[in-house]
Amino acid sequence: MSRWFKPCTRSFLHSLEVRRGFRCLTPDGNRRTELQLRAAGDRCCSTVQGEVRVRFAPSPTGFLHLGGLRTALYNYIFAKKYGGIFILRLEDTDQSRLVPGAAESIEDMLEWAGIPPDESPRRGGSTGPYMQSQRLDLYNQTAQQLVDSGHAYYCFCSSQRLELLKKEALRSGQTPRYDNRCRHLRADQVQEKLAQGASYVIRFCLEEGVEPFQDLIFGWNRHEVAQVEGDPVVIKADGFPTYHLANIVDDHYMKVSHVLRGSEWLISTSKHLLMYRALGWQPPTFGHLPLLMNKDGSKLSKRQGDIFIETFKRDGVLPEALLDITTNCGSGFNTNRMGRRIDELISEFNPSKITTHSALLDLEKLPEFNRLHLQQRIEDEQQCDLLIQDLQDQIYQAYAEQIQDKDVLHEDYIRRVLRLRKGHISFLKELVSPTYSYLWVRPSFSSQEVTSLTGEAQHIASLLLKLIEERGEELSVDRLGKDLKAVAKQAKATKYREVMKLLRLVLSGQQQGPSVAEMMVSLGSAEISHRFQKLLLLSNETD
């Protein structure tokens, strides 16, 4: 056995966890907790000590989606929980599949979501560069080191031969795998082909006898990759590395202490540990996060189109709501409640509580999450100021040519509207929908609409104007609710219901929406008077 691994696997991995900062803690006398930890496969948990450096390493072959955001979020929370560093590294070695603008967009979306990296292509850092395409010399040097030590070799097999191997395996009902043919070439044969300029890749020699490793979430794991796979390519014919080499090289040189990534990579970890052993490097601690799936258990697919973060941003979803819903449907926290912000997610995070069960995401609940976080923003003075600026822009874009009174764009007016509507709207953009157009544009209504409700329109308008004059600027929803009942009683032949319909028509031009009292408080005394003066004029013209 290689000296890299100690003979006693448990002792080695225990010492690794202590060095990496994880150790199992169970409360004194809490036998149930101890049994739960053992049942989870002796998972390490609870306390992290020493320098923590984690990374989110997406490929810019597409834009950031919910699954990627969730992985980034858990890494960010982990880093901030333990005073560590959160790194963004872009794995752009698959040059044929790069999407223009994706690299910049990924970092934009992390910043928008409120989980900005500490080190990244944009921000720089002491272990950069943070684009893999700018680190090619490092990968090639490492690959050559593996070749020189006998842990990797040049492979000259043509694509046609590899395709024939694949077809033959499928024909015989076997899993396609490379047959490791070039591993057995003599040194003089290799030199001859290199001298001839033959195209080649570099493959890593998979060894049998993989040691088990302890995953922070899935517990003890071991995959005999050499029995089911051929030797993997680590440097492609174009000189670029594959994921398997590049990610361990970067994690090593970027001093990554903990790798938190999706559980789809769990089966590859034994392969990566073989590479660490071959290079004589100490591996990071691994934790594989359960998958994020649709509420019916189906895979969350990029082809759904609506799971991209830029789409949510465009649709007015608040970043806090996205972070909240993606953690609420999963695990890893001491409590599970709606409405948590990032600081609460960090304080309540507990890695020992991350389960192996897939997280089922119900996006139909997103409006409810957004409503809660929009309410929190409205209640926060600084955040509310930002909402006001956003809404001012939206109002102007939607109603610029129809606005008769520029006061509707005033901060105080918009703030009043937001405070009255908090808890009732899920998205800020709802306030510029036709339902709320009366807030920004004076409504129109016809004499026929008025007379269909009552013949006492002029009398009711006079009563309303008198009420507003008495109340002045001191309007409240509760007080007005009582006042309006008193006004309705003074109508001679019009029932309370029709009086309310008339007031709603004059105030909004609609027959639905917030209560009449709230509409009045939103609009303010001056605007209410203006709209009921219009009713008086219309009634006089009709008379």
First to last CA, the chain: 105
**Quick check: 115 pLDDT over 60?**
yes
Q: How far apart are CA 283 and CA 476, in angstroms?
A: 64
Residue position matching structure tokens 């989606």: 65
What pLDDT digit, counting tens, does each position of 258-267 carry?
999 999 999 9
- Taking residue 97's Cβ as centre, other Cβ atoms within 10 Å add up to 12
> DSSP E strands: which ranges in 366-493?
none
pTM of the shown model: 0.87
**Quick check: 16 pLDDT over 50?**
no
- Taking residue 524's Cβ as centre, other Cβ atoms within 10 Å add up to 17
**Quick check: 102 pLDDT over 50?**
yes
Instruction: Give the alpha-carbon dihedral of 191, 193, 196, 199, to 10 degrees.
Output: -120
What is the three-class DSSP state of 216?
A: coil
What is the three-class DSSP state of 367?
A: helix
Q: What is the average pLDDT across 238-253?
A: 96
Q: What is the average pLDDT across 479-488?
A: 95
Q: What is the 3-state secondary structure (H, E, C) of 368-412?
A: HHHHHHHHHHHHCHHHHHHHHHHHHHHHHHHHCCCCCCHHHHCHH
Q: How far apart are CA 241 and CA 235, in angstroms?
A: 4
Q: How does residue 543 score in pLDDT terms, banded at 50, 70 and 90?
A: low
What pLDDT digit, counting tens, does each position of 319-374 carry?
999 999 999 998 999 988 999 999 999 999 999 999 999 999 999 999 999 999 99
What pLDDT digit, counting tens, does each position of 412-432 carry?
999 999 999 999 999 999 999
- Taking residue 101's Cβ as centre, other Cβ atoms within 10 Å add up to 11
The strands making up 201-204's β-sheet, listed across from edge to edge, are 152-155, 201-204, 233-235
The helix, strand and coil proportions of the chain, stated in percent and rounded to the nearest 5, come to 55, 10, 35
**What is the CA 37 to chain-centroid distance, rounded?**
29
Instruction: Give the alpha-carbon dihedral of 525, 531, 533, 539, to 10 degrees.
Output: -150
Average pLDDT, whole number, for the chain? 89
What pLDDT digit, counting tens, does each position of 216-236 carry?
999 999 999 999 999 999 999
What are the Cα distances from residue 114, in Å, to 43, 150, 389?
30, 46, 19
* Range in 43-57, 123-137, 168-182, 197-211 the model is least confident about: 43-57
- Taking residue 407's Cβ as centre, other Cβ atoms within 10 Å add up to 12
Residue position matching structure tokens 């509409």: 519
**Can you state the angle between helices 516-523 and 411-421, rounded to 10 degrees?**
160
Return the higher-pLDDT residue of 40 and 385.
385
**Quick check: 17 pLDDT over 80?**
no
Give residue 541's pLDDT.
Answer: 64
What are the Cα distances from residue 253, in Å, to 19, 128, 215?
18, 9, 22
What is the three-class DSSP state of 50?
A: coil
Give residue 517's pLDDT.
Answer: 97
Question: Does residue 93 contact residue 133 with C-beta atoms inside 8 Å?
Answer: yes
Instruction: Give the alpha-carbon dihedral of 389, 393, 395, 400, to 10 degrees.
Output: 140
Q: How does residue 138 score in pLDDT terms, banded at 50, 70 and 90?
A: very high
Question: Does residue 535 contact residue 461 with C-beta atoms inside 8 Å?
Answer: yes
Q: What are phi and psi of 153, to 5 degrees?
A: -155, 160
Q: Over pLDDT 90: what percentage of the chain?
A: 83
Give residue 242's pLDDT.
Answer: 95
Q: How far apart are CA 271 and CA 207, in angstroms?
A: 9
Q: What are phi and psi of 361, to 5 degrees?
A: -95, 125
Rg (CA), the chain: 33
Q: What is the average pLDDT across 482-511?
A: 95
Question: Between β-strands 292-294 and 85-88, what pairing exists: parallel, antiparallel or unpaired?
Answer: unpaired
Give residue 303's pLDDT.
Answer: 59
What is the three-class DSSP state of 300?
A: coil
